[in-house]
Structures are given as C-alpha cells and as structure tokens.
Copies of this chain bind each other. A is one copy, B any other.
Amino acid sequence: MATSLHAHVVEHLGSRIVGGSIPRGSIVLAADLEQKLQVSRSVIREAVRVLAQCGLVTSTKRVGIRVLGPEEWNPYDENVIRWRLASDQKGAQLRSLTELRISVEPMAAELAAEVAPEAMRKELMLISAQMNHYGRQGDLRRFLELDIRFHALVLAASGNEMFANLATPIAAILRGRTELGLMPERPHEEALAWHQSVADSISNMDAQGARRNMESIMRRTHNEICSLWEGAPRVFVDPIAKK
C-alpha cells in the first residue's frame, strides 16, 4: 500500500521527525499539514494516528500535534528502524540491533536444536552447505542472501515469534555490512565452519553445541562491525520518567 496517500504522509512526516528536521517539541497543526501536503483532513488524521502508535507524536486538543523525542519512539517499529538507519543515528541503530542479535541468536540456536520441525533442520543443512560452496568461491552476493536466510531460519526454528520477527532488521544489518565493504574478500574458513556446526548441532538436537557455535559467530560479527558506531552516543531512558 506504499501507493496509498496516507502511507505517503506517514513516510513524509516519519522520516523528517526521525531524521531530525522536525525537532522534538515542535508543534504542527493538522490544518497546516493539509495545506502543505495538499491532502484532506482524513488522510492527515489517519497518518497522525499511525505515527502516534509509533510514539513519534501525540495529538492533543487545543495544542496540535506535538513531536516527541527519541525516548518515546518505539524502537521495535519497522518504520522507526528504517528511518533511523537512514539518518545520522545509523550507528546507534546498528549497535542496538547488533547487541540484540548477539543476545538472542545463541538462545535461538539452542531452542532450535530442541524444538525445530524436521523440515527446517533439513533446510538449514542445505543452506549451510550452499554457504560453504559459494563462500569458498568468493561469490559474496549469493553468500549474503544465504547468510540472511540462515540466520532467519535459525530464529524461526526457535519457535519463538519474538525471535523470528527480528529476521527483517537483522537482514538489514547483514546487507548494510556487505554494502559498506565490511566483509572480507571471501568469508573466513572459521565462520563457514561455525555456520556448518550450528546447522549440524541443530540437526542432531545438540542444544549446547548449537549455542556455542552461534556464540562464536556472534563474537566475530561484533568485532567486524563495532567500528561502525564508534562515538555514537548512547541513550539512557529512565524507566520511571516514562510512567
């Protein structure tokens, strides 16, 4: 529905708020937006409702539409993540996501070894074999897509829908890393072996083995890209202030 009018307005406002060109505390009026974007009130209102859902704005009577600060944004919202990745907060967003996946993926691998359905174990073995093949050939494009699928599969095979839902932003990390040339010419043998071991362990229901090998992958991943966010400021949200 990217073609729908209200989605366009959401995109317009959301990217500007997250990007910083509409600073926190700003107050915009629905009537002004109608005129500026040349759309009707209903479109504006629906867009504002969606943005309010993401925590980007609140709309109160007699005041208007108030733009909120980053502490209020929903960091799990797909749009918010995308807008942050396209802004100067890219580093901080990548750091948050990477820390999250480092935490989650070993547990996902462990769970997958215990509960994954047979079809997913099979596919995991297939994917890791293909990763070996194309990795050794230095075909980075194909390797990237397989890598994305591999990690998405492990997350899905955990049977935890919260884990599975991290596949999309994690794919964004992997794509970003490759685009930025942070991948070696061809994947390290070590990394290939770890992926293979994760698949083997899951296939053999070896939960601890799956976890250990995934932890190894995560350690290397972290070392490879943590330079990206050097100096990006951390945000400390006092959990009481939000109540």
Contacts and interface: CB of A to CB of B under 8 A. Distances in A.
A235 interface: yes
Instruction: Give the size category of A's interface with B.
Output: 35 or more
Contacts of A156: 236-239
A165 interface: yes
A107 interface: yes
A195 interface: no
A198 interface: no
Contacts of A117: 236
Interface in A102-128: 102-104, 106-107, 111, 115-117, 120
Contacts of A240: 149
Nearest to A166: B76
A161 B96 contact: yes
A45 B40 CA distance: 14
Interface in A131-160: 149, 152-153, 155-160
A107 to B, nearest CB: 4
Contacts of A224: none
**Across chains A and B, which 3 residue pairs bring their CB atoms closest together, nearest first?**
A159-B234, A76-B76, A152-B239
